């Protein structure tokens, strides 16, 4: 259980950027997460998969401190950390791009990317500097489909909005890890392609990328490793090159669990 992936992935020598060990979270009697191990390295795309209710969202919310874990340890960049809220996570360099995007439709791309962190000179918004930096960031991510960064977000396609949300997350010099929650859920084929390419570029640029998705096809295209959750437990970490979609589906639906739901914790061999 220590190093989930001992089978020699490309970067097995690297220490993980983020590592959660034995984290649990209960809501009343429900074990949303039970002794889950999870890790992600810089420069890799770690997919997080599982059926509805498997605990994907709970794990992410625990990592960024929205619902802090009940037990277990979190290590970030080699140091034990306690994350109590999104601000702590942001301070460490963990950014989340949520499924529902968290963009304000009426603001333009620049306004959204700098929302809450505007560049201000003598109390006045420095629009020119912000626009310049927004363009640079989008160009760095090779986002080529935006006509202008002064468009309002309302007028963007789903893929473009996703790109803006990602660019917003990576624009901050100190961000190291990007968590994407179902980034392709509502997108068409071409849009999905764009977003997947973008995700690949993020990893290539050295970010640790966590990709939550239901779509195994997408995952097998860009993920380096896959962590499978089932009923709140981690049932496997697979190297994408060494497994098939069937293996993953099997793990999602019938993966071995160390703990049987409904049984008292004491009776479970740990």
Partner 1 sequence: MSGDVESTPTPPAPPAASRRTSGFAAPTTGVGDYLRQRWSAIKAGELGALPIIFGLIVIVLIFGTLEDQFLTARNFTNLLLQMAPVAALAMGIVFILLIADGEVVSIDLSVAFVAAVGGVVMTLLQRPGDPGWPWWLCIIGALVITTAIGLLHALIITKLGVPSFILTLAGFLVWSGVVLWLTTRFSTAGTIRIQDDRLVDIANNFLSEGIGWVIGVAVVVGYAFVQVRTMQARQARNLDAKPLPIVVAQVVGVAAIVLWAVWVANSDRGVPQITITLGVFLLVWTFVTTRTAFGRHIYAVGGSPEATRRAGINVDNIRIAVFAINGFMAGVGGVILASRLRSVATNTGGGNLLLNVIAAAVIGGTSLFGGSGRVVSALYGALVITAIQNGMDLLGLNSGIKFIITGVVLLLAVLVDSISKRRRAARGLT
Q: Which is nearer to partner 1, 45 or 212 (CB)?
A: 212
According to DSSP, the residues that pair with 125 across neighbouring strands are 120
- Closest approach, Cβ 183 to partner 1, in A, equals 16
Nearest CA-CA partner of 3 in 186, 260, 237, 210: 237
CA–CA dist 151, 146 (Å, integer): 8
Determine if 120 is a binding residue for partner 1 (CB under 8 A).
yes
CA–CA dist 130, 208 (Å, integer): 26
Nearest CA-CA partner of 149 in 179, 114, 198: 114
Using CB under 8 A, which of 78, 123, 173, 262 touches partner 1?
Answer: 123
SS3 216: helix
- Closest approach, Cβ 172 to partner 1, in A, equals 12
Q: Which is nearer to partner 1, 144 or 246 (CB)?
A: 144
Nearest CA-CA partner of 126 in 134, 143, 172, 91: 134
Nearest CA-CA partner of 55 in 83, 24, 29, 79: 24
Q: Which is nearer to partner 1, 117 or 204 (CB)?
A: 117
Determine if 125 is a binding residue for partner 1 (CB under 8 A).
yes
Determine if 118 is a binding residue for partner 1 (CB under 8 A).
yes
- Closest approach, Cβ 245 to partner 1, in A, equals 32
- Closest approach, Cβ 178 to partner 1, in A, equals 15
Contact mark string toward partner 1, 133..162, x via CB under 8 A: --x--xx---xxxxxxxx---xxxx-----
- Closest approach, Cβ 115 to partner 1, in A, equals 4
Tokens of 219: 């995952």
CA–CA dist 86, 50 (Å, integer): 24
How many residues sit in the footprint of partner 1 (CB under 8 A)?
A: 40
Using CB under 8 A, which of 117, 204, 217, 241 touches partner 1?
Answer: 117
**CB count, 10 Å around CB of 58?**
25
According to DSSP, the residues that pair with 208 across neighbouring strands are 177
Q: Which is nearer to partner 1, 67 or 259 (CB)?
A: 67
Residues that bind partner 1 (CB under 8 A): 86-87, 90, 98, 100-107, 111-112, 115-118, 120, 123-125, 128, 131-132, 135, 138-139, 143-150, 154-157
């Amino acid at each position: 259980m220590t190093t989930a992936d001992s089978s020699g992935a490309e970067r097995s020598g690297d220490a993980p950027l983020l590592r959660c060990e034995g984290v649990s979270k209960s809501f009343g009697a429900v074990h949303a997460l039970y002794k889950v191990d999870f890790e992600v390295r810089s420069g890799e795309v770690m997919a997080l998969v599982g059926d509805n209710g498997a605990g994907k969202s709970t794990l992410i919310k625990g990592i960024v401190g929205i619902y802090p874990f009940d037990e277990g340890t979190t290590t970030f960049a080699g140091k034990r950390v306690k994350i109590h809220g999104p601000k702590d996570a942001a301070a460490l360099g963990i950014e989340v791009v949520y499924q529902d995007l968290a963009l304000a439709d009426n603001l333009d791309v620049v306004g959204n990317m700098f929302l809450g962190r505007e560049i201000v000179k003598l109390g006045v918004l420095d629009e020119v500097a912000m626009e310049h930096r927004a363009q640079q960031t989008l160009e760095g991510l090779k986002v080529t489909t935006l006509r202008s960064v002064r468009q309002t977000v309302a007028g963007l396609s789903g893929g473009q909005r996703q790109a803006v949300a990602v660019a917003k997350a990576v624009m901050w010099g100190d961000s190291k890890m990007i968590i994407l929650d179902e980034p392709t859920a509502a997108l068409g084929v071409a849009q999905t392609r764009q977003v997947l390419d973008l995700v690949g570029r993020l990893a290539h640029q050295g970010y640790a990328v966590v990709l939550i998705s239901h779509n195994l096809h997408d995952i097998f295209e860009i993920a380096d490793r896959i962590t499978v959750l089932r009923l709140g437990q981690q049932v496997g970490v697979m190297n994408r090159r060494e497994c098939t979609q069937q293996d993953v589906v099997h793990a999602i639906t019938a993966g071995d669990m160390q703990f049987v739901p409904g049984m008292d914790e004491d009776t479970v061999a740990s």
